[in-house]
Chain A
Amino acid sequence: AQSVTQLGSHVSVSEGALVLLRCNYSSSVPPYLFWYVQYPNQGLQLLLKYTSAATLVKGINGFEAEFKKSETSFHLTKPSAHMSDAAEYFCAVSDDYQKVTFGTGTKLQVIP
């Protein structure tokens, strides 16, 4: 069975500060891992995905995530937060790249 745990349902950062959103996964096979972003009243949009190539994955809008097998983690980071980054972020895992299990989401607030 696959699952993800997102630590912190709400995270607040100051504009220009580092963004760190945490995600730990559980999977019986080498997983595919994803981060999606959801802006208010919109669907989810893919930020980045890990598919067993490079462990450091770069995505859109300056975000990146590092796959750490020893820690079963796939944390999302951005060096400098922008006001437009305020949204809800979902970590997700799949063992076959089709049936995806989503985390409960982390709402990111960016303080001016």
Chain B
Amino acid sequence: DARVTQTPRHKVTEMGQEVTMRCQPILGHNTVFWYRQTMMQGLELLAYFRNRAPLDDSGMPKDRFSAEMPDATLATLKIQPSEPRDSAVYFCASGLAKETQYFGPGTRLLVL
């Protein structure tokens, strides 16, 4: 049963520290999405990639967030420096172009 995996599942860090979240998309999927979920804002699209190239990162704060796909099996989302307002659940999803997105279990981030 193919699934999107995300690590770590939970992260507690202090303000100013760098945070790196990783996602392994389902093998064969060519599109990867990063979402952030908070109580206040709901589910927001941060960025997405197709065939490892960034297509849209307009939802991402550019000054501290960065997203990359070093290879087809790994997507990363980095926050540097982290701030308390970044506390949220971050989801990765993958899919094929024009098809359903499959979500990972999320990384729950708490920035103190």
Interface residues of A (CB under 8 A from B): 36, 41-46, 49, 90, 97-105
Shortest distance from the beta carbon of B99 to any chain A beta carbon, whole Å = 7
Question: Considering the complex, which residues of chain B in the window 58-107 have a beta carbon less than 8 Å from any beta carbon of chain A?
Answer: 91, 93, 97-106
Chain B hits for A99, CB < 8 A: 45, 48, 56
Residues of chain B at the chain A interface (Cβ within 8 Å): 4, 31, 42-43, 45, 48, 55-56, 91, 93, 97-106
B43-A102 in contact (CB<8A): yes
Count of CB-CB pairs between chains A and B under 8 Å: 41
6 A-B pairs (CB sep. < 8 Å): A43-B103, A44-B91, A44-B103, A46-B100, A90-B43, A105-B42
Q: Which of A41, A100, A105 is the one whose CB lies under 8 Å from B101?
A: A100
A100 and B106 contacting across the interface, CB-CB below 8 Å:
no
Neighbouring A residues of B106 by C-beta, 8 Å: 41-43
